[in-house]
Structure 1
Amino acid sequence: MRVVREFLDKPCKVTVFSWNGKYIIKLEHGPFEQTFKVSEFDMLEEEIEGLLNDDFFNDAMNRFDAMGRSLKNALNA
């Protein structure tokens, strides 16, 4: 697996890897991470940044919030 690109100027840390014919887009925020896999046949490396738009990050940040609530609820159960 090789690192293709890192974005540190986004709402969360984004690392893009290339592995086994796929781009793996990993988002990290606090103790949580989300991973998306996209075939290298479906997208060029230069197109990845265009995928990372405001709607994408709004949805991702909402999922991070939901993940935090889920963990908090599980720990308090």
Structure 2
Amino acid sequence: SQISKLSVLERIKLVQDILSTISKEAVKESDFEFSITELKEIESRSSSIQNGTAKTTSWDEIESSLKECYGL
């Protein structure tokens, strides 16, 4: 495929561009269906975030790491 011919940097940029278009579209909650297992995992992760036990990474940290690793 043409995508596999892109450099890692170009593919990461493509993914960023695609994700930015998705976030701009109106998405209805009914468009998503989760299994019981997925709902339990979501609840568990949400609780960890709320009670401060989850290890999180900001987008700025992730982006910085990608830039350092791949020369973005």
Q: Considering the TM-score relative to the shorter chain, is it more than 0.5?
A: no
Length-normalised TM-score, structure 2: 0.34
Identify the structure with the greater helix proportion: 2
Bigger RCO (CA 8 Å, 6+ sep): 2
Identify the structure with the greater strand proportion: 1
